[in-house]
Amino acid sequence: MNRKLEFTVPEEYEGKKAFYFLRGCAGISARALSSLKRVDGGITRGGETLRTIDRLHAGDIVTVTLPVETETVEPMDINIDVIYEDADLLAVNKSPFLAMHPTHNHQGDTLANAVAGHLQSEGKSAVFRCVGRLDKGTSGVVVCALNRYAAARLSGNINKRYVAVVRGRFEGSGTINKPIYRPDPMKTLRVCGDMPGSESAVTHWESLYSSDEYSLLSLTLETGRTHQIRVHFASMGAPLAGDTMYGAPENEIGHHLLHCAECGFIHPASGEEIRLSAPPPQDFLDFCRSFIPADVLAKIFNYA
């Protein structure tokens, strides 16, 4: 089913061309606007086609009908923990063992396949557009935009909070401000250093609990570089527990302990403030119990 978006023209756009309203107030991207102009009924006012050169009046109701998009990823029946869903967005609590997109190593067993399968079961279809990806091995909140409009509105406008277990004792709070670069373009490994091609990266951390061996930290990012949290703490000699790529010894869990616990954003269609949260997976909590008293851990993650 086509997604219809309705916008009421405010007084400040009285007499102005529809183009300026659609690009400014409605937030339609130039690319999407160009596409909508070529679709019969893509942009209407009172049921009549609205051209971008037409002038508007305050109180006009402008309707934008987004075209149906067909996902090319194969739908698969993979169980996912859906924590939010509406006509524009789908948010899940991603398993750490689930990759985001199909690759030569992962065909059919990714979050993209799972989302396609979930939507198919509801009689829907949408191109998989993840707004802020998580590495395989990282769990937590992932928001997927179900249309191009939602994706454009959310891009760069989601705030996230992570929790991670790192080696060593970290008390209080602090900031890591170190640029990150990729020494070998054929490998995914990143390192800290002020080199040609490096990108600025800023991570803020706060200790939730610390012991001599491990610390549980709350983290927020000013930048969103690939592997940023993992690289920053590895550079301090404190790799994430289980992160063998960045120097941690292997553990029985089989993945690094990094979880996106919360995210917040303004809904692209309603303008409502949305805050989503997701509990860490059981293996994350079990590992935390090895160095955090049970009652303290329960208070940190608000469970009985």
Q: What is the CATH number of the domain that holds 7?
A: 3.10.290.10
- Shared domain check, 195 and 102: no
Asked if 231 and 190 count as a contact pair (C-beta separation under 8 A), the reply is yes
Same domain? For 287 and 211 the reply is yes
Q: Are residues 284 and 180 in the same domain?
A: yes
Number of domains forming the structure of the chain: 3
Residue 81: DSSP 8-state: E
Domain co-membership, 104 together with 214: no
**How far is the C-alpha of 158 from the C-alpha of 155, rounded, in Å?**
7
* Same domain (yes/no): 56, 94: no
DSSP conformation letters of 223-286: S--TTHHHHHHHHTT-PBTT-GGGTPPP-TT-S--EEEEEEEEE-TTT--EEEEE-PPPHHHHH
Domain end (from 26, 41, 66): 66
Residue 92 has phi, psi (to 5 degrees) of -130, 160
Cα separation of 265 and 283, whole Å?
Answer: 28
Q: 120 and 40, same structural domain?
A: no
Render each residue's pLDDT in the chain as its tens digit; 304 residues.
688 999 999 999 999 999 999 999 998 988 888 888 888 889 999 889 999 999 999 999 999 998 877 778 889 999 999 999 999 999 999 999 999 988 777 778 899 999 999 999 998 888 899 998 899 999 999 999 999 899 989 988 899 999 999 999 999 999 999 999 999 988 999 999 999 889 999 999 999 999 999 999 999 999 999 999 999 999 999 999 999 999 998 877 899 999 999 999 999 999 999 999 999 999 999 999 999 999 999 999 986 4
Do 185 and 254 have their domain in common? Answer: yes
In which domain, by residue range, is 92 found? 69-157
The verdict on 175 and 36 lying in the same domain is: no
Claim to verify: residue 79 and residue 149 sit in the same structural domain: yes
Q: Do 262 and 198 share a structural domain?
A: yes
Are 105 and 36 contained in the same domain?
no
DSSP 199: B
Do 271 and 138 belong to one domain?
no
CA-CA distance, 63 to 3, in Å (whole number)?
10
Any idea which residues carry the catalytic annotation? 135
